[in-house]
Structure 1
Amino acid sequence: MFKLLITADELRKAVTSRNWLVFDVRHDLADHQAGRLAYEQGHIPGALYLDHERQLSAPRTGKNGRHPLPSRDDFAALMRSQGLTRQSQVVVYDGGNSMFAAHLWWMLRWLGHEQVAILDGGWPAWVAAGGEVQTGTNTASVTEAQAVQSMGAPREAGMPTVDAQAVLANLALPSFVVVDARAAERYRGEVEPMDPVAGHIPGALNRPNTLNVQADGRFRPASELQQDFRALLQGRSPDQVVHQCGSGITACHNLFAMELAGLTGSALYPGSWSEWCSDPARPVARSEG
């Protein structure tokens, strides 16, 4: 069973195995068609494509962030339609840095499905390993009706979340620390390419998610990640950590990196900065504060 990472060579040996389910979630926040086009031009054989804008997000209201987390029931229905059963070994990959793959990994764990792993290095690693390339599109081999019988109702949530109200209350009576996964210049409020307000949640620590991977997109060794996060958290336990980013996607990359490092139990603020800054009554910090 794979629960965190899988290498391209390991996947090549198992990709046609029974009950294996592979998802391609390549995406470009600036070009929402790019991921699906890349998938159609070449993907891992049998892989199904999921879209972060239309399938892995709930409807936007202007107050709930750029990629609102769907309800667990809605997400469970989507995954059953893709053939997910309790027996499925899921593998998720993206364009290489695992930013989008980590988000779906987290969502599946949140749903209560533990057998889900990220392809380390993503699509480039598959190609470099000589993996077979398939073009066109695929559809689920297991029907939703079959999946319902096997999967049933969503299990108890495997990953904790907090909402904006909890983050706001934490400012006055801190019980957890927020870790912001955005680039340092966005955290400091020097630039803001995605959202209408620049800055960060007061008291948040900055840990750009790009620090989790090597130059080839593969994750850094678990021992290095553990050392980095322990230094950042300064004695706080993982269950005192809430991850945040721009819209709840790259925050999952930090959360995954902590899990990979053996620091389990941290939570996600799904709405993240795009939700937080949509209400002018919520405080904003800038610079290094």
Structure 2
Amino acid sequence: MNSIVSLKWLLARMYEADIVIVDCRFQLGKPASGREAYEEAHIPGAVYLDLEKDLSAPIEAHGGRHPLPDIAQLTGTFSRAGIGNDKRVVAYDDQGGAMASRLWWLLKYLGHEEVYVLDEGFTAWKNAGFPVNAEQRTLIPSPFFATVQHNLLVEMDEVREKLGHADVTLIDSREAPRYRGEVEPLDRKAGHIPGARNRFWAEGRGADGKWKDAEAQAARFEGLDKDRETIVYCGSGVTACPNVLALREAGFTNVRLYAGSWSDWISYEGNPIATGEEDREDE
């Protein structure tokens, strides 16, 4: 089974005892809006996890705008939310899957395989006439034990060491103008990591808002070697996650997240920066 589940799939299973539904709605620049939306209405039984309070660590000099949480902190968060090792987790948001994919990746990183992203998101669920309410259920903690998958993560020094290596593909998940360095609304320097290809994360969805199937995802990454080490980044390590998911759906076998991403890369003086178009296919 792939990592994307349909609205009807969840509707049929939402009350099963081993299902944990997680609301991940969050808007950059409006940090309270996600929880406010959750408190107004959510999928029945869903728990809320906040991108910045629960799924990121506090910002420091390095690590980017959404640093990875400490593993002990993260396992505690999951345990308190009722996400035990025996649970199936379905994450949703209203941001095209970006925030839900962050939770998906974090759980995969900690060795939890039974985690899925809800296709289309909350508004589509509500518009379909499926149930919503504002009730917040009492959380029953469930022990979560991490088995960290270190191969899924890459740190800045390793990215720098691998620049220019023919056996490594680097993918920048931001919009093309940010990749080219023409605009930079969030970070203090514009451009991209030298050698990176640009594959905007939101293009993993079709015009109907649904995730593209495996064949269409593979077409997005055509020309890239599926067996080559593939390192994915974005601005802060969040919207890279849906690209990681898409690459896995497309059959890429060695996909790693540079969690600190661009905001971490530029925090180190001397790291090289490229601008303009650099996205040519393999020779």
TM-score (norm 2): 0.93
Contact map agreement 1:96 1:121 (CA 8 A) in 2:
no
Q: Runs in 1 of length 4+ with deviation above 3 angstroms? A: 136-139, 172-175
Shift of 1:138: 3.6
Runs of 5+ unmatched residues, structure 1 = none
- 2:281 is aligned to none
Shift of 1:242: 0.3
- Name the CA shift for 1:84/1:55 in 2 (closer, same or farther; >3 Å): same
Contact map agreement 2:64 2:236 (CA 8 A) in 1:
yes
Structure 2 residue identity aligned to 1:197: K
What do residues 32-58 of structure 1 show as CA deviations (whole Å, max 9, x unaligned)?
A: 111111111110000001111111111
C-alpha distance in 1, partners of 2:20/2:152? 25
In the TM superposition, 1:73-222 aligns within 5 A as 73-140=72-139, 142-143=140-141, 147-148=142-143, 151=144, 153-157=145-149, 160-171=152-163, 173-222=165-214
1:264 aligned to which of 253, 259, 271: 253
Shift of 1:175: 3.9
In the TM superposition, 1:36-75 aligns within 5 A as 36-75=35-74
Instruction: Please say which of residues 120-129 and 45-54 is displaced more in the overlay.
Output: 120-129
Instruction: Please say which of residues 43-52 and 212-221 is displaced more in the overlay.
Output: 212-221
Shift of 1:173: 4.4
TM-score (norm 1): 0.91
What do residues 107-152 of structure 1 show as CA deviations (whole Å, max 9, x unaligned)?
A: 1111101001111001122113221111153442x22xxx22xx4x
Shift of 1:264: 3.2
C-alpha distance in 1, partners of 2:150/2:14? 26
- 1:7 is aligned to 6
Aligned residue for 2:235, secondary structure, equals coil
Contact map agreement 2:65 2:236 (CA 8 A) in 1:
yes
C-alpha distance in 1, partners of 2:178/2:135? 38
C-alpha distance in 2, partners of 1:211/1:84? 30
Runs of 5+ unmatched residues, structure 2 = 279-283
- Name the CA shift for 1:220/1:37 in 2 (closer, same or farther; >3 Å): same
C-alpha distance in 2, partners of 1:209/1:265? 18
C-alpha distance in 1, partners of 2:92/2:37? 13
- Percent of aligned pairs with the same amino acid: 38
C-alpha distance in 2, partners of 1:218/1:158? 31
- 2:270 is aligned to 281
Structure 2 residue identity aligned to 1:55: D
The CA RMSD measured in Å over matched residues stands at 1.6
Q: What is the aligned length?
A: 278
C-alpha distance in 2, partners of 1:10/1:172? 43
C-alpha distance in 1, partners of 2:172/2:164? 19
